[in-house]
Amino acid sequence: MYRFAMKSLQDWKDQPDRKPLVIRGARQVGKSSLARMFGDSHFDNVVEINFEQDQKSAGYFKTHSPTKTIALLEADQSTDIKPGKTLLFLDEIQAAPKVLASLRYFYEQMPKLHIVAAGSLLEFVLEDHSFSMPVGRIEYLHLGPMTFEEYLLAAGKEKRLDALRNFTITDESFASLHLAFMEDFRDYCVVGGMPAAIKAYIESNSYLTTERIQEGILATYRDDFSKYGKRVNHSRLQKVFSRLPLLVGQKFKYTNLDRQEQSRELAKAINMLELARVIRRVQHSDANGIPLGAEVNDRYFKTLFLDVGLLCRACGLSMTDVHNADDIMLINSGAVCEQFIGQHLLYAKKYYEEPQLYCWMRQKRNTSAEVDYLFQIGTNIVPIEVKAGKTGTLKSLHVFVAEKNRNFAIRFNADTPSILDTQTRIAGKTPQNFKLLSLPLYMIGQTQRLCHEII
């Protein structure tokens, strides 16, 4: 199944100052498959070493001479490794972390050799290591679940993808495709973006088969808990893992996880799950200027699960629950839609940029204004709300626009696309003009393009 990250790999391949590339992401998001597909399509041969299965090969990298390392690998693998012609793929590199450190010598002494590394739970190695990291001598590619648009491509719906990419905000005829896209969106919400789940659904057309795959992925994450080290109690980790899918979209409070546990211990479990990329914190930013990360308050945040399909499975939601719902925005109090938008925004930046996402929670007493997400378009900070229905007061959005003097905002819902010149409505405050771009949920992948056309 094609991934849009392939374009970034192609660009990396052709860079004259290329560095060894490390693909980072949660388990089973498709890191290894992407590397193999890239190698098969763009090189004469691929030499793959899986360090979980082949520990002895790690010893070949102990020398500081890439020439000697390659000679040993060629003898061991009985194949040629030719710079410019061969892709050397180092899989499960977290099982041999010192190999990561040795990549600096390949950058310095054998820069023409294309090297891609990948591994699950790699963040644990990067956070806590006893060797010198090759800072400035390797680069990263961050990979998340497959997007809605990648799902359309995998399902053979290229024409629908073309329709999304060619849509303009003035195109009134697009409304005729809206119901069909909403059906695709509902399917994606339950199937999700994990490649194995999408493959199972497309090949079997069975939701039950897909659910079994998802249960297997969730079980794999639980099995990984033993690899997190001794810093977190496993039963506590299991408890947090089970509860977090039910809290997506809510302002985080440790008491919602367990009133009997200390916040400090629960925080450790959350940190471990975030390192494993199973969850992500959406941190509050004061949003007075860019970058948004400069004004983060770590005390206030929401959480996202890795994938909307896994979220539905963890919450016990089935395809019939989603398809029979009168308003999908109300399922699980809107958490499914907020997860869908959040996971796409999280990976909306360049693949080499660390995935980060922010929200806004008004800090004044006796107020509860919250904006779901903040999105940066150039130098503009754009508030984003995920709302039910075709109308609504959007009170929090109005508060943010007025307080931060913004002139553009986005709403995602289940309605057809539109753009509206409107005003803030806050009691006792002078109305402020702003544009409100209202997009159907399935257009999340076109948000950046459409914003550039309007702002």
32-68: pLDDT as tens digits? 999 999 999 999 999 999 999 999 999 999 988 999 9
The rounded percent of the chain whose pLDDT value lies above 70 is 95
97/203 same-domain check: no
57/115 same-domain check: yes
Q: How far is CA 418 from CA 110, 117, 306, 341, 428, in A?
A: 53, 44, 30, 18, 29
122/161 same-domain check: no
Please say which residue of 116, 142, 168 terminates a domain: 142
294/436 same-domain check: yes
208/337 same-domain check: yes
Identify whether the C-beta of residue 72 lies closer than 8 Å to the C-beta of residue 113: no
Please say which residue of 109, 142, 175 terminates a domain: 142
More confident of the two residues 7 and 64:
7
> In the beta sheet, which residues pair with residue 383?
374
Indicate the pTM of the whole model: 0.94
Cis peptide before 83 (omega within 30 of 0): no
302/164 same-domain check: yes
Query: Taking 70 as the threshold, does the pLDDT of residue 223 lie above it?
Result: yes
250/385 same-domain check: yes
414/275 same-domain check: yes
118/212 same-domain check: no
pLDDT in tens, 291-324: 999 999 888 999 999 999 999 999 988 777 777 7
Rg from Cα positions in the chain: 23
Please say which residue of 142, 167, 195 terminates a domain: 142
Q: Which domain holds residue 215?
A: 149-454
Reported as type and span, the H/E element at residue 412 is strand 408-413
137/240 same-domain check: no
Number of compact structural domains in the chain: 2
268/234 same-domain check: yes
CATH of the domain at 118: 3.40.50.300
pLDDT value of residue 429: 87
132/155 same-domain check: no
Phi, psi (deg, nearest 5) at residue 285: -125, 140
